[in-house]
Structure 1
Amino acid sequence: MKALRNLLLLTLMMLIGVAVAFYLRPQPVEQRIALGEKLGGDFTLQSQHGELKLEDYRGKVVLFFIGYASCPDICPTALAVASQGLHELNEAEQNQVSGIFMSVDPDRDSTEKLAKYAGFFHPNFTGATADRETIDKVVKQYGAFYRMVDMDNSAMGYAVDHSSRLYVIDKEGNLAKALVHATNPKELAAEIRNLL
């Protein structure tokens, strides 16, 4: 009888632990926005041409992506989709859209390297980075994440595990959408047009 009581108590404790973990887990960015949580906001980064402030982009829709230039898959794919999405727009619409690619890897990503990297995908895209404190602040503001992952036996030394959302910021500087990595160019173009 005592063994059964201990088993039931252990089971109850495990269920409570699972429930607490479920309740405390971070919610997806889209859900947090839908629930009215204030994500996004202004930031100041460093680009090849000096300070890059989000507030300077008022009047334009901004596509904001967080990653790093040595990323082997997520970043180039997301930026290619963003570029294709812009090409779905006419020239007048494209002129109302800018892209900002923020690197969380400032040790390897100079502002010059980021300018070339982002500009490769579309001339409206700008690459930028910042010091670690600023990067961490912006990542938190946008409900994103990243972490350095050591890669033994690799010339790169480390990779960066990071979120893969494309943040769509409206003309007033408010975060309007956080699009998943699988969003296709036509869907992206439609989201942009809704904000023009």
Structure 2
Amino acid sequence: MTLTPASQAIRPRPWQRSLTLALLAVAALLSAALLYSRLRNPQGLLGTAYSPGTGAPPLEGTGDNGQPLALSDFKGKAVAVFFGFLNCPNICPTTLAALERVRQTLPENQRQELISLLVTVDPKRDTPAELRTYVRYFSANARGLVIPASQLRDAAAAWGVGFEYSNVTAPDRYDVNHTTGVYLVDREGQRRVVWDYTQLNLTDRIASDVQTVLR
């Protein structure tokens, strides 16, 4: 019987070496991704965190009281900004209701520090007065903003928001498809985090994000 030298018996086969290298590469990639996530989101916010110093793009138009209104008018408070419209069948009312649950979850002394701001993507149909009735149904701290149609698309794009009109059957009969994220702006006017619509049912986690941003 021929004996195999010990050095040959323990030599890894080519496929074993390839597998080991692949596993090491995956581990390194995961470690790098985790490190990047911690550096970008050191406070462990639920949503997707923005890099420090990311300013909120300007939003200016007519408020739900018929007077000029700008996002900068809310400096000193946290603002949950989202884009929607009054004829929205589900996303927009669900979002407003979810944000109010978050506000009610905050300690009483912080509840007035969170504003929900609905920016309409349907300025042709949504009037300031109608916006006021709509948003105040959900919260006394909710506000509505109408940006002129000529400025709206650029203003929305600056936030990474898109929208389009579809199923047009008449000048005032159509649907609006739009981005559904909610953007949290801090007291200094910095974008801190964006929540996906699917996260809005995580009331306690989102309230924790708000409290972190309010500190």
Asked if Structure 1 and Structure 2 have the same fold, meaning a TM-score greater than 0.5 normalized by the shorter chain, the answer is yes
State the distance in 2 between where 1:44 and 1:157 align.
26
Are the counterparts in 1 of residues 183 and 195 from structure 2 also a CA contact under 8 Å? Answer: yes
Identical positions, percent: 23
RMSD (CA atoms): 2.2
Are the counterparts in 1 of residues 81 and 118 from structure 2 also a CA contact under 8 Å? Answer: yes
State the distance in 2 between where 1:135 and 1:30 align.
24
**Structure 1: which amino acid aligns with 2:123?**
P
The equivalent of 1:69 in structure 2 is: 86
Structure 1 length-normalised TM: 0.77
Greater C-alpha radius of gyration: 2
Which has the higher mean CA deviation after the structures are superposed, 88-97 or 59-68?
Answer: 88-97
State the distance in 2 between where 1:127 and 1:143 align.
19
Which string of whole-angstrom CA distances, capped at 9 and with x for unpartnered residues, describes residues 27-78 of structure 1? xx948x45x8956322212113311111111110001110001000111111
The equivalent of 2:17 in structure 1 is: none
| Runs of at least 5 residues in structure 1 that lack an aligned partner in the other structure | 1-28
**Structure 2: which amino acid aligns with 1:110?**
T
Q: 1:175 aligns with which of 179, 191, 197?
A: 191
The equivalent of 2:96 in structure 1 is: 79
1:185 aligns with 2:203: yes
Q: 2:60 aligns with which of 33, 44, 69?
A: 44
**1:111-130 residue pairs with structure 2 within 5 A?**
111-130=128-147
Which string of whole-angstrom CA distances, capped at 9 and with x for unpartnered residues, describes residues 68-118 of structure 1? 010001111111111111110122111111111010101110000001111
1:159 aligns with 2:175: yes
The equivalent of 2:115 in structure 1 is: 98
The equivalent of 1:195 in structure 2 is: 213
The equivalent of 2:162 in structure 1 is: 145
Structure 2 length-normalised TM: 0.71
State the distance in 2 between where 1:176 and 1:65 align.
14
Aligned length: 165
The equivalent of 1:25 in structure 2 is: none
DSSP-derived class of the 2:56 partner:
coil
DSSP-derived class of the 1:182 partner:
helix
Displacement, 1:158? 0.6
State the distance in 1 between where 2:128 and 2:60 align.
14
Are the counterparts in 1 of residues 55 and 189 from structure 2 also a CA contact under 8 Å? Answer: no
**Structure 2: which amino acid aligns with 1:63?**
A
1:59 aligns with 2:87: no
State the distance in 1 between where 2:150 and 2:204 align.
36
State the distance in 2 between where 1:69 and 1:158 align.
12
